[in-house]
Every structure is written in C-alpha cells, then in structure tokens.
Amino acid sequence: MSSILKISVIIPAYNEAETINSCIANVKKNCEENCEIIIVDGSADGSTLSAVDDSGVKLIASPPGRAVQMNYGAQKAEGDILLFLHADTTLPPAAGTLVRKALNAPCATAGAFKLGFDTHQRSLKWIAYIADLRCRIERVPYGDQAIFISRSNFEKLGGFPEIPLMEDVEFFQNIKRQRLEIVILKESITTSARRYLAAGPLCCALRNTFLRLLHFWGVKPLTLKKMYRKKGKRS
C-alpha cells in the first residue's frame, strides 16, 4: 500500500462535454500517483458524463448546483485529501506534491492555488493580480482556485453550505471563524477566461465585487444567484 496520501479530485460539471477530457488528462499528468478523479454532472441529460472516455474515472449524476455536486463527490471520495476543481481549470505541474506538502504543514486546514487565466490580455492579468492580493490579505479563496482540504477536516466542517452562490466564500469564512489556517500557494492554476471575455473583463470584475459586497451586507444567496445569471451562467 502506498504511503503517499491519496488525493480525490472532484470536478463539478455542467455542460462541459468539450473540456472534460482535457481536464482529466491534466489532472492525471499533474497529480501523478495515488489520485482518483470524480466527475459530478449536474446536467439533466448527463452530457458531460457521456463524453468521458477514461474508464478509470468515477462518474456521478447529481442534482444541479455547484455546492450540491461537490458534496456529492466528497461523499463518494476515497482519498485522504479532497481537491475541488472546475472543469475549465488546469492544475500546475506537480500539483499533487504541492497540495500534500501544503497540508502537511503544522495547523494547515485547507488551501488553494493562486489565480491565473489562459490569456495574456493585460486587463485579465491585472484582475488576477488584484484577486491574488485580496486573497492573501483576506484568506478567502474562490472556487476557481482549486480548493483543497483534508477529508477529515471537510467532514468536521460539514461540507459546503448548499446555497445557490457564495458557497466557497461561506466555507472559508467558517474556517476563519474557527481560527484555522488557510494556505494560499504561490503556484497558479490556469482557468478559462471565456466568461470574462464574453461579458467584458471590467464588467465581470465589478459585478463579482458588487455581489461579494451584497453578500457581506446580508443579501440572500438566491437573490445573488439571480443577479449573477443576468450576466452569465453558472452550474
């Protein structure tokens, strides 16, 4: 039996048939040995699951909703570490080693990677820079930064709150309230800029900031979800 901690990479997906196999290939390359991949499809037609061409991947159908899908995947996971990855995000080299090392540090509870985009557009580089600065000050990473946490701590925290939006924010705020350590790695993931480019980088950045402020002021997640979907879709 391998002494290396097993990582379960949980990928919540919704209509990601075009990207899912490249995502799987990236995970297998960069998480290396002792890693399992779990795809949790929230679409009614199961189109993402049907597109998977790797028989070694766990395929799960779930009700839609990112938090619901991630919790479903965690329930089926066998790993010591859970890593939650968006289907349009790629991991950096040796990601598995980086995650294991980060969680091996004393008191480390959970963590995430630095944000990066798959484009050299200057405006998105500035958005990534500001997002990283905010994250390192606030210690509240977002879901597109490849969140990771030990399975035991995830279970103690009760998983993600099953709300329509801001489940990642509330999850890490819960960790902070308990004065537990959150690790932000210096290595970047690469996430698709498609939503930013479709709606306009500045517009997306301002919208996300505005929604975060409304969440802070107590606006209900369902209301925030409706506002978010006016500009784009989210599983």
What is the pTM assigned to this prediction? 0.91
CATH code, domain carrying 34:
3.90.550.10
Give the pairing of strands 108-114 and 181-188. parallel
Q: What is the pLDDT of residue 207?
A: 82
pLDDT in tens, 120-131: 889 999 999 999
Tokens of 129: 């820079």
Residue 219 is assigned to a structural domain of this protein: no
Residue 215 is assigned to a structural domain of this protein: no
Domains: count for the chain = 1
Give the pairing of strands 190-191 and 89-90. antiparallel
**What strands, in cross-sheet order, belong to the sheet with 58-61?**
58-61, 35-41, 7-13, 81-84, 147-150, 108-114, 181-188
Q: Is the confidence at residue 234, as pLDDT, over 70? A: no
Residue 49 is assigned to a structural domain of this protein: yes
Look up the domain containing 156 and give its range. 7-198
Residue 154 is assigned to a structural domain of this protein: yes
Residue 169 is assigned to a structural domain of this protein: yes
Contact between 53 and 17 under an 8 Å Cβ cutoff? The reply is no
pLDDT in tens, 39-89: 999 998 999 999 999 999 999 999 999 999 999 999 999 999 999 999 999
Residue 40 is assigned to a structural domain of this protein: yes
**Contacts with 111 (C-beta within 8 Å, 6 or more apart), sequence order:** 99, 102, 103, 141, 147, 148, 149, 182, 183, 184, 185
